Structures are given as structure tokens and as C-alpha cells.
Structure 1
Amino acid sequence: MTESLLSADRLQVTFPGRRGAPAARAVDGVDLDIAPGEIVALVGESGCGKTSLARTLLGLERPTSGRVTFAGEPLDYASRALKAYRKRVQLVLQDPSGSLNPRHTVYEAVAEGLRIHGYAGDERAAVADALSRAGLRPPERFFLRYPHELSGGQRQRVVIAGALVLEPELIVADEPVASLDASVRGEILALILKLREELGLSALVVTHDLGLAWNIADRVAVMYLGRIVETGRVEDVLTSPQHPYTQALLSVLPEAPGEPVVLTGEAPDPSRIPGGCRFHARCQILAGGEAERAGVADKCRTEDLPVLSGGGASQVACHWAAARVAAE
């Protein structure tokens, strides 16, 4: 794998508990690398730590331990350094209606980043170019429009244009198509792929939807309770998932064979992460006796698993999966 553009190294993010409660470990030991021009999908249920990890990679949260590096340099949290960093790494939010000021025109929304960063070039040309790249053509036709005058897909394109205008090297897209109609989702995903091809743009796409990951990502990282539990090339992970949690997530896709796997209960509280495999209390493999037959049931309940490395090789944090590989 080529040298990483953005890396997380043993990243931990904890939030203090209320009224003396234990601290919540939102991110609990994560290694993750994103190479230049690579699209990585970060997948998991709500509450698994995806957004906390993304915010930390953006410099919006400071890690409790571990570090973030960009282009080989540790992230500097001084205000001037963070401002320069956020020009190179841009956030695209899931709800364009919430992220666009209803009182600002499209032109003002896209130009805002240029003004914050003291852009000295031709502002009008830069805004027009960003809108055009985002698929809003001719761009001048959109300059004086307001968000309420646009469709959902057009609003998302404006948000993307607001990120592109600063010519970032990487975008972090948090559920970029979750609020859009199915007919528009494909257009926005195709746009992100086109931008990667034209600009060499890297992307971290945060989603709960493995189907979206299949359509856009080079690599997928599956997150559960603050830690990445399976990672690898998207074709490998989604055609032959090794972790029971990944198998359960895939089973509910419309095209998945067999019956959906219904996980019992909710994910545990991140302030009370269980011992052993953090998924064992909900694991269909352990509950069905397969882990017992493989001789790893006790390990599942008591023995923690190592943090997966951030690189591109296929990896899984699962005692049962490891026993299957050893038996082959």
C-alpha cells in the first residue's frame, strides 16, 4: 500500500460520564489509514463510534490518546495549524438542509470557505468552477438561488461545492446520501467517484449502509463499540465476511441470500464495554453454539482481541474466525 495521506494511530476518544459515571470510550483503540486517491467506507450501527472517529480525524475532537497524522505530519491543534488543516480536509454533512443557511444564496454558501481562509484569487471564478464540478451547470444560474428553491440533490451538490472550492485533498462524507431519494443517491455517489478520478480526491465515507459501501468504496472498515472489527478490500469483506457482526449487517440487505440475522438487544453502553470480544453478548455464532464447537466460546467471553492495523490487508478481530482459519 502507498504511503497514507491520513492515519489514525491507536486512537482513543473518551467522554467523561455524568455525575461520577464511568467515562464513555467512544473510540477505543483505532488504527486507520487512507491512501491518496482512496475511498474508505466506515460502516456500523448508530452509536458505534463512527462519527466520533470522523470528528477526531477532522480535528474537531482531540484524542484522549493516540494521534492523527496527515501527509506524514502529526496533527497540530494550534488554531492557525488547524485552520490550514481544515482547508485540506473538508467535511460533507448528511443533511444539506441543516448545513446550508436558509438566508444565504448558493453563491454566499460556496464562497464562505474562501472568505474564511482569505482567498486572494478571483472569487466568482472559483465559486463557478466548484459548482460546475459538483454538477450544477451553468453555475451562474444558481448563484442567486436560496436553498429552499433547490431540490434535495441540488442542495447536496451545493454542500459538496462548498467543500471543493477550497481544493481539499480529502473529504469526510458523513452519511452523504442518507437524506436523499433513492433516485438521487446514485447521482451523488457517481459524483464522488468522478471527483476522485478528476482531482485525485481521497474520501472517508461514514455510513450504516453496506450497500453504499459496495457501490463507492475501495476498502471498508466495520466498526463496533469503538473499535474496527473487520477491514479489507470491499469485494473481500462484502462477498466473504468473516466477523459475525459484518455477516449480520450484510444479511439485512435486500439482495442477501437466506434469512436476516436479527441481533438481540442494543449495542452495550460505551462506558461499560464488556470483557472478552466486545460483540459476544449479541453474537449469533456464540448463541448458536458454533463458537463452542470450535473450542473458542470461553475466549469469546473473556479474552480481548488486538487492535487491527490500519493498512489494506484483510483482517478480522474474532476468535471464531481465527479458529476457522487455523482449522483450514
Structure 2
Amino acid sequence: MTSSTSPLLTAGALHVTFPGRRGADPARAVDGVDLDIAPGEIVALVGESGCGKTTLARSLLGLVPPTSGRVTFDGKPLDYSSRALKAYRKRAQLVLQDPSGSLNPRHTVYEAVAEGLRIHGYAGDEREAVSHALSRAGLRPPERFFLRYPHELSGGQRQRVVIAGALVLEPELIVADEPVASLDASVRGEILALLLRLRDELGLAALVVTHDLGLAWNIADRVAVMYLGRIVETGTVEDVLTAPQHPYTQALLSVLPEAPGDPVVLTGEPPDPSRIPGGCRFHARCQVLAGGEAERAGVAESCRTVDLPVLSGGGGSQVACHWALARGVD
């Protein structure tokens, strides 16, 4: 994939705001995001719970209309009419975290995978399409699984059925929300290897939503780190995970078992999209600011008071951090 490749999916100045509860301020779940995903590219969207990554993913699929900004797919702005969204969802599919919740316990594997074909009025050989999708998802021989029910499958097999249900429509993009979070460690590697193989064989692009930077390292071409509604660092997986620039990214990486030194324990309130602070939105929890390093770099006041621009959506290393920028990071 070259840098001149036109993006398959683009978010431009995307905002998603939800009304506040009981008179509270509105929740700015996605608060200005630019993001590109190229054909055949796997992008990991990383952040802790509450940072807005699932809302962003659902907005990219047209499940949550943006408050402002727009989503573009294959060069055309997303149309939110029901007919247009139905056509779009044939090309962009969602894979959810919990396969048990994604599958109807009363439907056989065959019915679960064939459902998308029936919704979209598939005119070809349904049995052949279902067999092909199950086989691609690693359930072979596929006919052995046709009449089985979800409770008769292992967790890994159920997740493969969910993936087959997405693949049967031959999409160009899948959005996988924590695709291995509910699986045993021994099965996670198999599912990640499957996603990589599908990218290589089908040219499938993917946005993988996760809190796990270790997963991102194993699967992604590029990483976008999200905090409180915005992407605060992005770049190739090697750049971001071997030389993280944002203190938040550094903290997330520090808790991995193979990370050198002691884990960074973030203090202060967890992200609250109805109470976004002025200045850098991470400054109230930032270990660099608390430790005096931002003061020594002459940016402590900026950290507390000066907002940072939205990062562009394309490739190349980018960071939204006064301290990192003062150290000469582009």
C-alpha cells in the first residue's frame, strides 16, 4: 500500500454529541476526529473505556449519525437514507465483541450466516455462499456446522461464525469492536491470524477497536490512540508502539507485561465526555505535567490552557501534545 492510495473510508471533522442526562452538559463522545483507512489497511483504534472509540466506530458505519462533520466511503459522502445505508452495510460490516450476544441462540449456524444474504436479496446459490464464507472463516468442512446451534460451539468457533456472517456479503471493510476480548488467550491468536489472512487474500480493510496495545502490535498497520473524544497520537504501529510520544500512549504501553520499567498509574478522574477540560484534555491526569517535565520544557501553562489542533487523518506520525511538540516531535 502506497501513500498515494486514495482512502476507502474517511472521517472529516467528525463530532458526535449526546444530550446530557437530567440537565447535565451534553456528552461530546467524538469531539473532532479526522481518520482515513486505505484499502487493505488494518487500523487499530486504541483507548481506555469511555474514550469514544466505540461511538466513533459506530458512526463510521452509519449506525450513529454525526452531529457535524461527515463520513466518506469510496469517495462519496455517506447518505443516511435507509436505502443508501442498506447498500453501504453490504460493503462495510460490523463484527462485535461478544459472539454469544451477536448470534441468535435459536438460529443454526447456516441461518446465522445466510441472514445477511436474505436481507440483501442475494440472487446466487445461497448454500454455496454460506459454505464459502464458513470455509474462509476457518470452519471446515463447512457442512459439518450448518445445523449446529451457538451453544454447541466453542467461543472461538462462535466468533468465526460471526466473521463468516460478515464475509458472506463480500465487504470491503470490517469494523471489529474488541473482536477477541471475550476469548481465551489460546484462541485470540487464531482469530487475529484469520483477520490478517483475510486482509492478505481478499484485500479487506479493517478498523479494529481495542483497549489492548498488544493486540494492535500483532495485527495493525497503523495505530490511532484516542482519548476523550479525540485522536491524540497516530502513526505506523512500529513508530507508535516502539517510540510513543504522547504521555497517554506511554502510560497505556507501560502496563504491557514486556514493557520496561514500572507501570504508569494514571491519577485523577477517568474520561468524562460531558466535562472536557480546557487546554490539553489529558493534562489533569498527565504524569509528565505532574512530574514537572512539562514545566522544565516551558509548556506547563500551555498544557493547562491551550487546546491542541485535530490531527489529520492520514499516515505519518502525529501527536497532539505540547510537551512532545516542544521536544521536536512532528
CA deviations 1:265-319 (Å, max 9, x no partner) are 3323211100000000000000000000000000000000000000001000000
Residue 79 of structure 2: SS of its match in structure 1? coil
Q: Distance in 2 between matches of 1:149 and 1:142?
A: 10
- The yes-or-no answer on 1:71 pairing with 2:78 is no
- The yes-or-no answer on 1:304 pairing with 2:274 is no
- The yes-or-no answer on 1:53 pairing with 2:53 is no
Match of residue 167, structure 1, among 159, 162, 170 = 170
More divergent stretch after superposition (135-144 vs 19-28): 19-28
Q: Distance in 2 between matches of 1:243 and 1:57?
A: 25
Residue 31 of structure 1: SS of its match in structure 2? strand
* 8 Å Cα contact 1:107-1:143 kept in structure 2: yes
Q: CA RMSD in A?
A: 0.9
Match of residue 326, structure 2, among 290, 301, 323 = 323
Counterpart of 1:170, as a letter, is L
* 8 Å Cα contact 1:275-1:301 kept in structure 2: yes
Q: Distance in 1 between matches of 2:30 and 2:297?
A: 30
Match of residue 246, structure 1, among 244, 249, 274 = 249
* 8 Å Cα contact 1:47-1:225 kept in structure 2: yes
- The yes-or-no answer on 1:188 pairing with 2:191 is yes
Q: Distance in 1 between matches of 2:232 and 2:95?
A: 25
- The alpha-carbon deviation at position 20 of structure 1 amounts to 2.1
- The alpha-carbon deviation at position 22 of structure 1 amounts to 1.1
Q: Distance in 2 between matches of 1:284 and 1:240?
A: 17
* 8 Å Cα contact 2:227-2:271 kept in structure 1: no
Q: TM-score scaled to structure 2, two decimals?
A: 0.98
Counterpart of 1:221, as a letter, is A
Percent of aligned pairs sharing the same letter: 89
- The alpha-carbon deviation at position 21 of structure 1 amounts to 1.6
After TM superposition, list the pairs within 5 Å mapping 1:102-113 onto structure 2.
102-113=105-116
Q: Distance in 2 between matches of 1:312 and 1:229?
A: 14
Q: Distance in 2 between matches of 1:78 and 1:154?
A: 35
Which residue of structure 2 lines up, in the alignment, with residue 101 of structure 1?
104
Residue 203 of structure 1: SS of its match in structure 2? strand
How many corresponding residue pairs?
A: 327
Gaps of 5+ in 2: none
Residue 310 of structure 2: SS of its match in structure 1? coil
Counterpart of 2:29, as a letter, is A
CA deviations 1:98-140 (Å, max 9, x no partner) are 1000000000000000000000100000000000000000000
CA deviations 1:174-226 (Å, max 9, x no partner) are 00000000000000000000000110000000000000000000000000000
Residue 246 of structure 1: SS of its match in structure 2? helix
After TM superposition, list the pairs within 5 Å mapping 1:71-220 onto structure 2.
71-220=74-223
More divergent stretch after superposition (264-273 vs 282-291): 264-273
Extract structure 1 runs of 4+ deviating beyond 6 A. Answer: none
Q: TM-score scaled to structure 1, two decimals?
A: 0.99
Gaps of 5+ in 1: none
- The yes-or-no answer on 1:275 pairing with 2:275 is no
Counterpart of 2:60, as a letter, is L
* 8 Å Cα contact 1:225-1:267 kept in structure 2: no
Q: Distance in 2 between matches of 1:135 and 1:300?
A: 49
Q: Distance in 2 between matches of 1:180 and 1:202?
A: 23
Residue 225 of structure 2: SS of its match in structure 1? strand
Which residue of structure 1 lines up, in the alignment, with residue 20 of structure 2?
17
